[in-house]
């Protein structure tokens, strides 16, 4: 297994997180296109190859990475929390049928919406809910052959 890439190493250092191979492995898995994994899934994925990481370390890593802003917890339907890499901002769509969470291209809010009284807003995201394409999506009830 190769060492931690310079690019990610930079991200770790900039975020003041010690770059360990385990943390790297966790982030690496989440970086795979559109993955919204649970801690358990990450644990299994990471342990299919080197370096390994115990369950506790996966949780610890997710916590460090989340605190650092490299990862964030996404809205989840089930009980187990799901995470994704948050290097690029994006919104989310949650399917009410299958529970799948999809990434939505980033867009800004109308000016002024980010000012919320005396609160300091550091980030935001829009969470859409509905029916995904695979579960029915558009075509409300057209083309039904019955």
In the complex, minimum distance from the CB of residue 50 to its own copies, in angstroms, rounded to a whole number: 30
Rounded Cα distance, 31 and 38, in Å: 14
125 makes contact, choosing from DNA, its own copies, none, with CB < 5 to 8 Å by partner type, with: its own copies
Residue written as token pair 């002024």: 112
Q: Residue 116 region, left (φ>0) first, then alpha (ψ -120 to 50), else beta?
A: beta
Q: Which residues bind its own copies (CB under 8 A)?
A: 75, 79, 81, 93, 95-96, 102, 104, 107, 109-110, 113-114, 116-133, 136-138, 140
The helix (run of H) or strand (run of E) holding residue 59 is: helix 55-68
Shortest Cβ distance from residue 135 to its own copies (Å)? Answer: 9
Instruction: Return the DSSP state at 116.
Output: B
Partner interacting with residue 140 (select from DNA, its own copies, none; CB below 5-8 Å by kind): its own copies
Token pair, residue 106, equals: 């980033």
Tokens standing for residue 72: 């964030």
CB of 13 to its own copies, least distance (A): 22
Q: How far from the centroid of its chain's Cα atoms is residue 108's Cα?
A: 19
Report if residue 66 touches DNA, rule: CB under 7 A.
no
With contacts defined by CB under 7 A, name the span among 60-68, 91-99, 100-108, 113-121 that binds DNA: 60-68
The yes or no reply on residue 67 touching DNA (CB under 7 A) is no
Task: Compute the least distance from the CB of residue 35 to DNA, in Å.
Answer: 15
What crossing angle do the helices spanning 21-31 and 55-68 adopt, rounded to 10°?
70
Alpha carbon 87 to its chain centroid, in Å, reads 9
- Contacts with DNA by CB under 7 A lie at 17-23, 38-40, 51-57, 59-61, 63-64, 78-81
């Amino acid at each position: 297994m190769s060492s931690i890439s310079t690019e990610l190493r930079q991200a770790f250092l900039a975020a003041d997180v010690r770059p360990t191979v385990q943390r790297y492995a966790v982030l690496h898995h989440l970086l795979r296109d559109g993955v919204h994994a649970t801690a358990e899934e990450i644990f299994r994925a990471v342990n299919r190859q080197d370096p390994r990481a115990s369950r506790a370390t996966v949780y610890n890593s997710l916590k460090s990475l989340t605190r650092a802003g490299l990862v964030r917890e996404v809205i989840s339907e089930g009980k187990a929390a799901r995470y994704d890499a948050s290097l690029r901002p994006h919104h989310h769509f949650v399917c009410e049928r299958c529970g799948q969470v999809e990434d939505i291209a980033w867009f800004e809010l109308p000016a002024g919406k980010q000012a919320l009284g005396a609160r300091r807003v550091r980030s935001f995201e829009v969470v859409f809910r509905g029916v995904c394409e695979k579960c029915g999506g558009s075509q409300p009830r057209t083309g039904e052959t019955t």
